[in-house]
């Protein structure tokens, strides 16, 4: 689950002046996440005492027309 990667990427694109880049409405998302709190994978990693390397991006697709 996206835990802030989309927000980070869009801010980086805006800072670089990339045409068509738009800011996500940060006030809508909790700490940049596409959720109202920690994502399930963040909770699980914390409970297991595991380090999390989450690179998920909200609305990402893995193939042509893959929804």
For residue 28, which of 6, 44, 49, 43 has the smallest C-alpha distance? 6
Q: How far apart are CA 46 and CA 43, in angstroms?
A: 5
17-29 pLDDT per residue, tens: 999 888 877 666 7
Residue 42: CB atoms within 10 A of its CB come to: 16
16-59 pLDDT per residue, tens: 999 988 887 766 677 877 788 888 888 999 999 999 988 888 77
First to last CA, the chain: 15
For residue 1, which of 36, 25, 47, 48 has the smallest C-alpha distance? 36
pTM over 0.95: no
Q: What is the pLDDT of residue 12?
A: 92
């Amino acid at each position: 689950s996206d835990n802030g990667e989309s927000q980070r990427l869009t801010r980086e694109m805006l800072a670089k002046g990339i045409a068509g880049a738009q800011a996500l409405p940060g006030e809508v998302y909790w700490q940049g996440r596409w959720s109202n709190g920690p994502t399930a994978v963040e909770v699980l990693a914390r409970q297991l005492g595991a380090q999390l390397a989450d690179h998920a991006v909200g609305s990402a697709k893995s193939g042509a027309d893959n929804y």
